[in-house]
Amino acid sequence: MDTMQIKCRRAIAKNITTRIPYSECDNVDKIYKKVSSGVRPAALNKVKDPEVKAFIEKCLAQPRARPSAVELLKDPFFDEIDDDDDKNDDCSCSYQ
């Protein structure tokens, strides 16, 4: 897993759960051990919508089983999004 994958996962999970993933860990070594052993962040338990949770689970899959970004964008999770609605939005997003 590279740094970009970790940052993207953190940004997505934080925006959906409003908590930083693995915030239950007090150091990076503990986070690494959980991630590398497949332990999901406790914040994932806060996600009540089954479709959202299923999408996050796909993003957290092991690299060989994880869909590509293009495949994720084609996921049914995004089917109800209307691109025309985005044209008038004045939304700026920032990721740490």
Contact status, residue 32 vs residue 54, Cβ threshold 8 Å: no
Look up the CATH number of the domain holding residue 48: 1.10.510.10
Q: Does 40 reside within a domain?
A: yes
Residue numbers of the domain that contains 7: 3-80
Mean pLDDT of the residues in the chain: 76
pLDDT digits (tens, 9 = 90+) for 27-40: 999 988 988 888 88
Q: Which residues lie closer than 8 Å to 49 by C-beta, 6 or more apart?
A: none
Number of CB atoms found within 10 A of residue 68's CB: 8
Is pTM beyond 0.75 here?
Answer: no
Q: pLDDT higher for 73 or 14?
A: 73
Tokens of 63: 């690299």
Q: Does 46 reside within a domain?
A: yes
Q: Does 63 reside within a domain?
A: yes
**In this predicted structure, what is the pLDDT of residue 42?**
86
Task: Compute the distance between CA of residue 90 and CA of residue 96 in angstroms, rounded to an integer.
Answer: 20
Q: pLDDT higher for 42 or 95?
A: 42
pLDDT digits (tens, 9 = 90+) for 15-27: 666 777 788 899 9
